[in-house]
């Protein structure tokens, strides 16, 4: 694609940008100039990471360079709310955008920032992060119902969903699985991850899903690379998590994990659902 130079980009503006970014890496400065001159979005991650890095203490910079989107701003990088504002001001100045206070509230990780700015500069509405759903809300939107609903209070973020389920011992199938030895079936553990993926699918705000999902048309398609590490029994609290891997209409693929306390219980490399939009 040939990029057209913006008429608003003047030598004076370039000087100002270089001065503002004087403590950032040369790649960051070039990415900013590319964005401001030609509207080149590809440099946004470099710009954002470069600006954050410039404000970090030298001893934590390597965490940012390792490139993990899960790196937490406050806990891992020591970015407090005042420093966050400094970062935002420099981002605003260099990308020529304005960021409202309430848009920042849900930003917790490096990945959150990258996603947020990607949407922001492209003018796409910012999805609400970390949406929490109660059991009642879940029951009202899910096709699954008790006694075959295996997710409880859930949190839906932009690219993942989390939930918990406590094995009560009263589940009807435990009577026969196994005789005098209640073990939560591995197939139902996978079912629970599948249900969480369904919940994500129908309640996320990711703009890549073009229209509302028709809940009656969501079906399990495949599951690959499943490993069970631990037997789950009554009393165990299951921490369920699904992470979006890719969307290829009409299929959507997640990675799933279940942990009990600190112990890994289940890992599923691919859980794929088939879906369709409301017609």
Positions marked catalytic: 177
Region from 92-100, 151-159, 162-170, 252-260 binding another protein, contact rule CB under 8 A: 92-100
CB 98 → another protein: shortest distance, Å?
Answer: 8
Give rounded-to-5 percent helix, strand, coil for the chain.
Answer: 40, 20, 35
Return the number of the residue (9 or 55) whose C-beta is nearest another protein: 55
Separation of alpha carbons 182 and 46, rounded Å: 52
Q: What are the helix (H) ranges across the chain?
A: 11-20, 26-38, 44-55, 61-65, 73-77, 81-95, 101-104, 110-122, 135-141, 186-203
Residue 13 phi, psi (nearest 5): -65, -40
Return the number of the residue (91 or 167) whose C-beta is nearest another protein: 91
Among 14, 34, 72, 78, indicate the residue that binds another protein (CB under 8 A). Answer: 78
86 near another protein (CB under 8 A)? yes
57 Cβ contact list (under 8 Å, min separation 6) = 78
Q: Can you count the helices (H) and strands (E) in the chain? A: 10, 7
Q: The tokens of 256 are what?
A: 């799933």
| 279 Cα distance to chain centroid | 27
Separation of alpha carbons 12 and 102, rounded Å: 32
Region from 55-63, 121-129, 149-157, 185-193 binding another protein, contact rule CB under 8 A: 55-63
Region from 63-71, 91-99, 144-152, 250-258 binding another protein, contact rule CB under 8 A: 91-99
Among 69, 75, 89, 173, indicate the residue that binds another protein (CB under 8 A). Answer: 89
Region from 42-50, 53-61, 134-142, 168-176 binding another protein, contact rule CB under 8 A: 53-61
Among 9, 38, 55, 220, indicate the residue that binds another protein (CB under 8 A). Answer: 55
Return the number of the residue (89 or 219) whose C-beta is nearest another protein: 89
Return the number of the residue (86 or 278) whose C-beta is nearest another protein: 86
Return the number of the residue (96 or 270) whose C-beta is nearest another protein: 96
Among 2, 42, 57, 102, indicate the residue that binds another protein (CB under 8 A). Answer: 57
Return the number of the residue (88 or 151) whose C-beta is nearest another protein: 88
Separation of alpha carbons 7 and 204, rounded Å: 38
Contact set for another protein, span 94-153 (CB under 8 A): 98
75 near another protein (CB under 8 A)? no
Quickly list DSSP for 250-276.
TEEEEEEEEEETTEEEEEEEEEEEE--
**Length of the chain counted residue by residue:** 279
Among 83, 139, 223, 228, indicate the residue that binds another protein (CB under 8 A). Answer: 83
Q: Which of 148, 118, 266, 143 is nearest to 203 (CA)?
A: 143
Q: Which residues of this chain interact with another protein, rule CB under 8 A?
A: 23, 55-57, 78, 80, 82-83, 85-86, 89, 92-93, 98
């Amino acid at each position: 694609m040939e990029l057209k130079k913006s008429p608003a980009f003047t030598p004076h503006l370039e000087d100002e940008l270089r001065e503002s970014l004087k403590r950032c890496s040369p790649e960051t400065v070039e990415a900013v100039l590319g964005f401001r001159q030609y509207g080149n979005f590809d440099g946004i991650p470099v710009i954002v990471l470069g600006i954050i890095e410039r404000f970090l203490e030298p001893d934590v910079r390597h965490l940012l360079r390792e490139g993990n989107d899960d790196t937490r701003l406050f806990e891992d990088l020591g970015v407090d709310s005042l420093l966050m504002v400094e970062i935002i001001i420099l981002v605003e100045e260099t990308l020529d955008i304005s960021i409202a206070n309430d848009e920042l509230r849900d930003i917790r990780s490096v990945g959150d920032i990258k996603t947020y700015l990607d949407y922001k500069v492209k003018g796409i509405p910012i999805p609400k992060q970390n949406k929490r759903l109660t059991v009642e809300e879940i029951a009202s939107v899910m096709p699954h119902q008790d006694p075959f609903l295996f997710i409880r209070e859930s949190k839906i973020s932009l690219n993942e969903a989390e939930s918990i389920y406590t094995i009560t011992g009263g589940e009807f199938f435990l009577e026969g699985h196994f005789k005098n030895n209640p073990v939560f079936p591995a197939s139902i553990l996978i079912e629970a991850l599948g249900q969480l993926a369904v919940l994500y699918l129908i309640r996320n705000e990711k703009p890549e899903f073009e229209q509302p999902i028709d809940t009656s048309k969501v079906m399990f398609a495949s599951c690959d690379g499943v490993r069970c590490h631990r037997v789950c029994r009554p009393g165990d609290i299951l921490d369920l998590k699904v992470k979006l891997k890719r969307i290829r209409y009409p299929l959507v693929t997640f990675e799933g994990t279940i942990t009990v306390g600190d112990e890994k219980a289940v890992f599923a490399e691919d859980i794929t659902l088939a879906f369709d939009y409301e017609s």
